[in-house]
């Protein structure tokens, strides 16, 4: 034990020194040796991911405004972090987003990190695997598929309108962010999980179910944190759900939604 105690400061110093040297080497690589090093941009944002994290997490998603400022300063094609470019040129859109016959492109996996959706359909990285997974869903996103949803969309829109009109002249403050969140939530529910029980829709809630808005807002707000530090999700996965819900009671709404999804999937598999 005495040996460990005597050598602990030396070991910690070596670890800290190694981390500093590694970080400096990474910064030098990002600035001067990266395949993107010829593209212009602020040295500060090219060197590390910290500026992007700061504006997206601490400043509530304002990095896009900083990107606009950098475009004004450096031009239409700029580096916005060590691995990404931003292109401000509408005419170049069709050069980037092309059909399979022109270029096969795998998904950029940085968006998969930290949100625990690895391997899901939404975040499939491999081009060929994503194509196979997308194929059964293509009819739902075709023009004909969208047209079939028109009556349902109109029904939900009319319900939102009737709820707002019913509050006219009552001096009730309407949170439109809650109302439109409930509107989109009910559309998702009708497409994916329609139970036929109108009393349980978000638009039927007296205040448009603010818990649903808070849940979605919290999830979206947390994405920059989890993508910057992917290990957080791995640590959280070892914490019992009961403890997590006690520490973060807002998570109960998401937990309830997850259980509804599970029941819907189970009933779908059971049906002949």
The DSSP element (H or E) to which 151 belongs, if any, is helix 150-166
What is the reported pTM?
0.77
What tens digit of pLDDT does each residue of 233-257 get? 788 778 887 787 777 776 677 777 7
Q: Is the pLDDT at 5 greater than 60, yes or no?
A: no
- The DSSP 8-state label assigned to residue 84 in this structure reads E
Q: Residue range 62-83: average pLDDT?
A: 95
Most confidently predicted of 96-105, 122-131, 159-168: 159-168
CA dist., res. 10 & res. 13, Å (int): 5
Alpha-helical regions (H) of 197-240: 210-228, 231-236
- Name the one residue in this structure whose structure tokens are 């996103």: 141
DSSP designation for 178 = H
- Which sequence spans correspond to the domains of the chain? 17-97, 162-268
* pLDDT tens for each residue of 200-235: 789 999 999 998 998 888 888 888 888 888 888 788
Can you tell me the distance from the alpha carbon of 21 to that of 16, in angstroms, rounded to the nearest whole number? 9
């Amino acid at each position: 034990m005495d040996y460990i105690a005597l050598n602990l400061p030396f070991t910690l110093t070596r670890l800290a020194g190694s981390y500093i040297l590694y970080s400096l080497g990474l910064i030098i690589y990002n600035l001067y040796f990266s395949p993107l090093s010829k593209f212009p941009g602020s040295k500060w944002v090219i060197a590390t991911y910290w500026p992007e994290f700061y504006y997206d997490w601490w400043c509530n998603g304002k990095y896009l405004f900083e990107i606009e400022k950098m475009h004004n300063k450096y031009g239409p094609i700029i580096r916005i972090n060590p691995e990404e470019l931003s292109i401000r040129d509408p005419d170049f859109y069709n050069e980037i987003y092309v059909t399979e016959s022109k270029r096969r492109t795998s998904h950029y996996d940085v968006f998969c990190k930290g949100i625990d959706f690895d391997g899901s359909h939404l975040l499939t990285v491999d081009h060929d695997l994503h194509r196979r997974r997308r194929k059964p869903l293509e009819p739902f996103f075709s023009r004909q598929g969208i047209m079939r949803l028109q009556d349902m969309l109109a029904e939900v829109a009319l319900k939102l309108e009737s709820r707002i009109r019913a509050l006219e002249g009552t001096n009730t403050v309407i949170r439109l962010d809650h109302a439109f969140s409930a509107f989109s939530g009910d559309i998702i529910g009708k497409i994916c999980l329609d139970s036929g029980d109108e009393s349980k829709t978000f638009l039927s809630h007296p205040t448009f179910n603010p818990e649903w808005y808070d849940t979605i807002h919290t999830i979206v707000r947390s994405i920059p944190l989890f993508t910057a530090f992917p290990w957080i999700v791995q640590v959280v996965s070892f914490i019992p759900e009961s403890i997590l819900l006690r520490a973060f009671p807002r998570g109960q709404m998401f937990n309830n939604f997850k259980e509804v999804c599970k029941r819907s999937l189970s009933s779908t598999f059971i049906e002949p």
